[in-house]
């Protein structure tokens, strides 16, 4: 039976592979909407034509997400935050990582339910546009995107430390800047794609 060490490392790994990779793929397909309704619909049709789609979705998306989410809730529970006594920048990011974890979890659960599991009919530009026609929904999406991207960017920084890849202070600082750029990049791409549907 694998021990805590294994589950912790698996949790860290799954955040990047496949969940992080999927996040990029998702933003790519969303961004097809910038090229017009037909381009987005072609992208969706291509994905729906992937052989063994149910298996791909199950193994590369649903199972990793479920494990990352539920083990993550346990990690959030194990923490006793102290940002008011120890006001260091990294401690705040540690705290925000846990806040964004819960926000992202709520957002992704709602998003998957509305546009995937509980969705009847074909997914298309028109259908997404219809969902986003409510400004409250759009606002919640903006919050959800910010939470997901910051959780992913900071989690990537943490991945490099937890696996012992970045050891020195300067290496950790440099990857922190790279992860900040990653956050800005994803946010710009995500919001532009979102805007293409509104």
Partner 1 sequence: MSNDKSSSIIKPTSKDVTFIIKRSNGPGFSSYWEEFQIPYYPNMNVVGALMEIQKNPVNGKGEQTTPVTWECNCLEEVCGACTMIINGKARQACSALVDKLTQPIRLAPLTKFPLVKDLVVDRRVMFDNLRKVKAWIKIDGTYDMGPGPKIPPQVQEYTYELSKCMTCGTCAESCPNVNEKSKFIGPAAIAQVDLVNSHPTGALMKEERLEALMGEGGIAECGNAQNCAKACPKGIPLTRSIARVNRQTSVYGIRSWLNR
Asked if 169 is part of the footprint of partner 1 (rule: CB under 8 A), the reply reads: yes
**Contact between 187 and 31 (Cβ < 8 Å):** no
Q: Is 172 a binder of partner 1 (CB under 8 A)?
A: yes
Rounded CA gap, 142 and 190, in Å? 9
168 binds partner 1 per the rule CB under 8 A: yes
How far apart, in whole angstroms, are the C-alpha atoms of residue 138 and residue 186? Answer: 17
Q: Which stretch binds partner 1 (CB under 8 A): 39-47, 137-145, 161-169, 181-189?
A: 161-169
Q: Closer CB to partner 1, residue 32 or residue 103? A: 103
Among 1, 5, 117, 135, binds partner 1 (CB under 8 A): 5
Alpha-carbon distance of 123 to 144, in angstroms, equals: 20
**Which CB, 135 or 164, lies closer to partner 1?**
164
Site for partner 1 in 63-122 (CB under 8 A): 75, 77-82, 85-86, 88, 90-91, 94-95, 97
Q: How many residues bind partner 1 (CB under 8 A)?
A: 33
Distance CA 104, CA 99 (A): 9
How distant is the alpha carbon of residue 165 from its chain centre? 22
Judging by beta carbons within 10 Å of its beta carbon (0-12, 13-18, 19+), is residue 196 exposed, middle or buried? buried
Binding positions for partner 1, rule: CB under 8 A:
3-6, 8-9, 75, 77-82, 85-86, 88, 90-91, 94-95, 97, 157-158, 161-169, 172
């Amino acid at each position: 039976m694998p021990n805590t060490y294994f589950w912790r490392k698996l949790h860290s790994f799954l955040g990047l592979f496949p969940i992080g990779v999927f996040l990029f793929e998702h933003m790519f397909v969303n961004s097809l909407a910038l090229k017009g309704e037909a381009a987005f619909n072609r992208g969706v049709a291509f994905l729906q034509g992937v052989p063994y789609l149910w298996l791909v979705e199950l193994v590369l998306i649903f199972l990793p997400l479920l494990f990352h989410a539920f083990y993550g809730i346990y990690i959030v529970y194990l923490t006793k935050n102290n940002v008011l006594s120890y006001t260091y920048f990294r401690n705040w990011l540690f705290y925000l990582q846990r806040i964004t974890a819960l926000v992202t979890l709520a957002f992704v659960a709602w998003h998957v339910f509305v546009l995937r599991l509980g969705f009847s009919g074909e997914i298309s530009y028109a259908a997404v546009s219809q969902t986003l026609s409510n400004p409250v929904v759009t606002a919640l999406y903006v919050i959800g995107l910010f939470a997901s991207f910051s959780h992913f960017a900071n989690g990537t920084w943490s991945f490099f430390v937890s696996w012992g890849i970045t050891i020195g202070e300067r290496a950790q600082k440099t990857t922190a800047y790279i992860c900040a750029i990653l956050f800005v990049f994803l946010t710009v791409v995500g919001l532009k794609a979102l805007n293409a549907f509104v």
